[in-house]
Amino acid sequence: MEPTRDRAWATLNRHTTSEPLLKHALAVEASVRAYASKYGEDEEFWGMTALLHDFDWEMHPTLDQHPQDGAPILREEGWPEELIEAILSHAEHLDLPRDTLLKKALFACDELSGFVVACGYVRPTGLDGLEVKSVKKKLKQPSFAAGVNRDDVTKGAEELGVDLDEHIAFVIAALQPIADELGLRTAADAA
Ligand SMILES: [Fe+2]
Ligand SMILES: [Fe+2]
């Protein structure tokens, strides 16, 4: 099987109907692809991995199943082991080594992409003009996007070896081009 973005999107949609979950996949894909580009790595491959990282969440919505029970489904479809291993490694509870740049980037972008999107939803101009300091302020408010694990956000940046402020700025910039797909308003809407 030739892994392609179209195939990854098809696999994701075969198992996922929830709009927020599809948007989460698209957001993490955009951030991880941006890091692939920054590091001169394979954008298509990194993007597919990110797109599929939570593909089984709808059928396996607990950590005693996700993502480990999704892996055999991906294997059956013929996805490369490198992609499957990276997906497995985003799960803290599996305690797998994040020993490649792709694994580190996926983990670093997973929670933060969702958080940045959440910040964008509550602003009239979405991600346009969203500043790092206001993202950090919201990270300190436990009630805001309470599902996002703050420790994973800081740990992700540390493991990737990037400064947290720069990481946040990088993810904001990576998500801006797909703001529309994510259902975010832009400065143009507010004008
Ligand atoms: Fe996950
Ligand atoms: Fe995720």
Cα 167 to ligand 2 centroid, rounded to whole Å: 17
Distances (CA, A) of 111 to 6, 13, 102, 145: 24, 21, 15, 10
Cα 104 to ligand 2 centroid, rounded to whole Å: 13
| Residue 142: count of CB within 10 angstroms of its CB | 9
Work out the angle between the directed axes of helices 150-160 and 101-121 (0-180°, nearest 10).
140
Cα 91 to ligand 1 centroid, rounded to whole Å: 6
Length of the chain in residues, anyone? 191
Choose among 135, 98, 99: nearest CA to 116.
Answer: 135
Q: Given this model, what pLDDT does residue 137 score?
A: 98
- What is the residue-level pLDDT of the chain in tens, covering all 191 positions? 899 999 999 999 999 999 999 999 999 999 999 999 999 999 999 999 999 999 999 999 999 999 999 999 999 999 999 999 999 999 999 999 999 999 999 999 999 999 999 999 999 999 999 999 999 999 999 999 999 999 999 999 999 999 999 999 999 999 999 999 999 999 998 77
Q: Given this model, what pLDDT does residue 190 score?
A: 79
Choose among 164, 181, 166, 163: nearest CA to 126.
Answer: 181
Structure tokens at 175: 């998500």
| Ligand number, closest to the Cα atom of 68 | 1
How far, in Å, CA of 125 to CA of 158, rounded?
30
CB crowding 112-125: b at 16 or more within 10 Å, else e: bbbbbbbbbeeeeb
| Ligand number, closest to the Cα atom of 110 | 2
pTM exceeding the 0.95 threshold for the entire prediction: yes
Q: Given this model, what pLDDT does residue 38 score?
A: 98
Q: How many CA atoms lie within 13 A of 189 on its CB side?
A: 12
Cα 21 to ligand 2 centroid, rounded to whole Å: 8
How far, in Å, CA of 56 to CA of 62, rounded?
10
Cα 58 to ligand 1 centroid, rounded to whole Å: 11
| Ligand number, closest to the Cα atom of 23 | 2
| Residue 153: count of CB within 10 angstroms of its CB | 22
Give yes or no for a contact between 110 and 36, defined as CB atoms under 8 angstroms apart: no
How far, in Å, CA of 75 to CA of 12, rounded?
14
